[in-house]
Structures are given as structure tokens and as C-alpha cells.
A and B are shown apart, each in its own frame.
Chain A
Amino acid sequence: MTAWWIRPGVRLIAAIILPLVVPAIITLLIWALPGDPAEIICPPETCGGTAELAARWNLDAGAWNFFRAWMGDAAAGEFGRSWRVEQGLPVRDLLDESIPTTLMLVLAALVPLVLGAVGSATGLIPPRADGGFHTVGLVPAVVFALLGAAYVELEYGAQSFLPGANRLRLVLGALVLGLADGAFAAAVSGVRGLFAAERDQRYVGIALLRGERPLANMLPNVAPALAGQLRARVLHLLSGTVVVEVVLRINGLGDLLWAGTLLQDFGVVLAAATAFALVSAVLLVIQALVEIAVAMWVRRAPTVRDGAAASPVVAA
């Protein structure tokens, strides 16, 4: 029986190194891309200042130097200005606008998922419904997003980026993220499978015999697995935000990452990727805490006394 603290411990360590590992990997990958932004804005063939621009953007001293400088500034909350996505705008402003939007989008998309999970755990949602959810899940997020984008554009026309239309885009984005790409179907069937497997355990049978409710008994044991599944779902949603935000033109982190990567705006890409990594790290910490809490709860639970007192029901 391995020590209970190993698994949450590993998660906490991962949560700490993630926000450092991800920007480092991204910097190496981006550096391998052919050409650089200074060449695009001021091509050496037609403009004399390429070297000067590269020096100003710290592109002339290798990947490690750029990464170190960027991390140092980022630690002080200074992310520099966007080179090409929103030329001249501080990346900090872009993050301030994008992170809340993406979090709202993901949380809104979680609502149907959580409801589905509770419904399947408690049996409110019958297994028969799974087929229907799978059919809806069939439609790729791209198609729902396309329909939503066209509808908003036609409905609001010139006003399609004012607060009213943006709220509609968020709602549509949440629905698309939550339902399409099989997200909802996977959540429901995943939780149902977990509880089904748990219900076959002996202790649940005993709990039934003792007249206790199975859910209360199963919950502590499945809590870590549930946390794991929930984290997987959120990561899946986060990954889906890139496509949904770009198609539905939502000013979120995914859209920022896509635009930054296409235009090789290194400052924006690193900031967006690090933000993603931080969200992942937070999820890891939450899962670790749940595991620790369950482990502590299990250790403090009363030990089962010897056979006679344990089963008054049997005696009756």
C-alpha cells in the first residue's frame, strides 16, 4: 500500500513547476520557427533598422536570454507591449481583458457538465439518455460555433461587438463548449461508469444492509477520481476555448494565443501560455487538496468494532 501522500505530493510539485516549464518549452519551440517578428515588420531588404528592432525586443541574444528577461519582467507584472497582435498595446491590458472572459466562458460551460454529472451520479439521468447526448456530442464544436457567429453577425450587424452582443457570444460559446465535441456525453458517462464500478464494491452492499444511503458512503472513496475527472473536463474545455473563441470572436485567452502564435508575437504567446499553465496548476492544487482531505477524513473515520456489534440488522 503506497504512502497516501505521494500522489497529492507529486501533484503539488507539478503545480509549482508547471508555470515555469510551459513558458520555457514554448520559448524553445517558438525560437525554432523560421524568421522572426523584427524581420517581418522591418524586412532587411527594404528597411534599415532590423538589427536595432531585434535588439530592442531582446531577440538578438538567444532563446535563454529572451526567456530569462521575460520571466524577470513577468515576475514584476511587466509583460511589455504587443508587437503585432495589437501593436503598441500593453500585453497586461490584453491579459486583463482575456483571462476573466475565458474563465467566465469555462465556468459557464461547466454548469451543464456538473448538472449532467450530478444527474448521472444520482440516477436522475437514466442511462437510456446517454445515446441522445452522444448524438449531440457528435456535432463538432466548429459547426455550432459557426452557426452562432453567423447568427450574431446577422442579428447585430454593426453592433455585434457591443456588450449586448458579446454577452450572447459568451452564452453561445458556453453552450458550444459544454455540449459539442462530446464534452457533455463524456462527463455523464464517465461519472456514471465511476459510480457503477464503485457500487459493485462489497462495502456498498454492507452499507445497504445497514440501511445507509450508498451515495454518502461512496462519495469519499470516489472523490479523488471525481476530482480527477472534473480536472480532465476543465482541461478539455480550456483546450476547446481556442477554436470556440476564434470562431465566435470572443476576446479570450484562446483567441489571444491563436493570434499571437500566428503572428509570432512572442510576448503575447508567452503571456497567454503561462496564464493557461497557471490555471492548470490551480486545478492540480485543488485535486491534491481534495485527495489530502479525503485521506485525512479516512484516517480519522471510526474503526469498525468487532463482528457482533457491527451488524444489529443481521441479528434482527
Chain B
Amino acid sequence: MLALGAFALLAVAAFAAPAHLVEPEPSRSFAGPLDAWPFGADRAGRPLLEYAQQGARVVLGPALVAGCVVAASSVAGGLLRCVGDPRVDAAVQGVGEVLGALPRMVVILVTALLIPSTSRGLLPLAVAWAVLASPGAMDEAAAVAERLGGARFVEALRAHGFSWTRIFLFHVVALNLRPVVVRQAAEVVTQVTFLELGLSYLAVQDAQASFTHPDSLKSWADLLYMGYPSIVLDDIPTEHALWTGLAMVALVTAIAKFATSAARAR
């Protein structure tokens, strides 16, 4: 329930995100959370709530897609192991080894630069990240399937008269692969969020166009970049921006954690 609740919160935020920030209001420059509910305001007096919403909009869609890609490949890995054909296993493992060994950030960086600057977004990078993370997920799912007994488990259920679809979808996936698939997907959702923060900040630091979102949207990295000086330097009134950014990241991680434990509970 907690996972759904947190996810709903994030989805509403993303859905309600404005296409552009509101007009500046100098009188509320760097207003605290009490003055500019709920998170305070930035230098130009615009509410940080809009930063959080736009950040959610940037991250949510692509992170979920990446999670689904990894979940699908994880299920595929488990089912293929249940098929029990050594040639298939070897092939899957071979492709997995090469993909898994590719320096992930290398591929992400070059992919990021390939996309023309006016149509950049997080989705292609998230999918690329998911594809690179798939071999690990397939390995783990295959290990679980192996422990089940692999092909012998399927033959036993066939002997009981169950149909192929019921065996694979219900018994193998729903009952046994579910925890590992959900955990893998949740982990990738978190990793994609951290990837977006990293790339957004690097773009700000090196005076580049953003890689992960159109420049009219703000990312949670903008909140963190606005807030971090308040820790190291004195009389910088931006602590509320740092805590807002960390709260958003915490929300995503909480969703992942709750989803993982929910999948393992039953």
C-alpha cells in the first residue's frame, strides 16, 4: 500500500507539473517553506514546488519504462532457463557478458550526444541503461529458476495436467520469479533517477545544453545545485532547496523499497 501511495504522490506531481515556471516575484526571493508553501522559493521568488513537479515529470516516465524493460528481460531470463536448452543458455549468457561488461556510462554519454540538442530527453538514455542492466537481471532470474529445478519443475507440473501458459505465467513467474523481478526493476528505477541527477548537474557545470530534458523544464539536480552552497558557505539562504531535492530522491527510493518488500511479502 505504501508503495502505491508514494507512487501516486509522485505521479500526481509529475502530471500537474507546469510546462514552464511562473513569472518571477522578487519580493519572495529565497522565501522559506513557511512563506512560500510547501517548499519555499528560488532566487527569483518562484515556488520550488514547481521544480519538484517538473523534476518528477522528467524522471517518472523514463524510469518506469526502464523498470519494465529490466523486468521483462528478467522474466525472459528465468523462462529461458526453464526451457533448459544449453545452447540457448550459452547464447543468452554470451550476449549478456558482452552487454554487461560494456562501460555503461560510455554508452550513455555517446548516446546522449547523439540525440540532437533540441529533442533531448531522458527516455532513450533510460532504455539504454535498462538494456545494459538486463544481463545482470537475467542472470539472477535464471539462478532462481535453476534453484526451482528448471526443466524438471516444468515437467512435474505438466504431469499434473497444467497448461503451458498457467505453468509459466502463474507458477514460474507470478509465484517464484516475482520477488527478484520486482527488486531488479525497482533498483533500475532508482539508478535511472540518480543517472538523471548526475547528467543534469554535469550539463550545468560545463555550460552545456541539458541531456535529459528540454531546458524549459527544471530537474531535481537544479534543486541540489541551488542548495549545496548553503552547507559549505555561510549566509547562503538555500538550505530548503537542498532538503527539497533530497526529499524527492527519497520518495523514489521509498517507492522502490516498498515495492520490493511488497513483492516479497506474499
Contacts and interface: CB of A to CB of B under 8 A. Distances in A.
A–B direct contact (CB < 8 Å): yes
B58 interface: no
A137 to B, nearest CB: 8
Kindly state the interface size class of chain B when it binds its partner: 35 or more
B1 interface: no
A14 B136 contact: no
A284 B197 CA distance: 30
B232 A151 contact: yes
Contacts of B101: 14-15, 18, 235, 277, 280-281, 283-284
A261 B110 contact: yes
Contacts of B147: 197
Contact of B97 (A11, A139, A143): A11
Interface in A1-48: 2-3, 6-7, 10-11, 13-15, 17-18, 21-22, 25-26, 29-30, 32-34
A143 B242 CA distance: 9
A225 B143 CA distance: 9
Interface in B114-141: 114, 116, 136, 139
Interface stretch (B11-19, B22-30, B48-56, B202-210): B202-210
A170 interface: no
Interface residues of A, number: 64
Contacts of B102: 18, 22, 25, 277, 280
Given A30-B110, A257-B105, A2 B89 contact: yes
A7 B190 CA distance: 30
Contacts of B93: 6-7, 10
B100 interface: yes
Interface in B73-132: 86, 89-90, 93-94, 97-98, 100-107, 109-111, 113-114, 116
A238 interface: yes
Given A6-B90, A238-B103, A281-B101, A142 B221 contact: yes
A228 B106 contact: no
B265 interface: no
B111 A247 contact: no
Given A139-B246, A243-B202, A284 B97 contact: yes
Contacts of A225: 143
A164 B202 CA distance: 25
B232 A147 contact: yes
Interface stretch (B37-45, B62-70, B161-169, B249-257): B249-257
Interface of A is mostly: helix
A76 interface: no
B224 interface: yes
B253 A182 contact: yes
Interface of B is mostly: helix
B259 to A, nearest CB: 14
B201 A254 contact: no
A140 B224 contact: yes
A146 interface: yes
Interface in B173-200: 187, 190-191, 193-194, 197-198
B97 A254 contact: no
A183 B202 CA distance: 20
A70 interface: no
B114 A146 contact: no
Interface in B217-251: 221, 224-225, 228-229, 231-233, 242, 245-246, 249-250
Contact of A261 (B113, B143, B224, B228): B113
B197 A150 contact: no
Contact of B233 (A10, A140, A154, A241): A154
Contact of B205 (A29, A247, A261, A283): A247
* A-B interface, 8 closest residue pairs, ranked by CB to CB distance from nearest: A14-B97, A276-B103, A280-B101, A243-B198, A150-B232, A242-B105, A2-B86, A239-B104
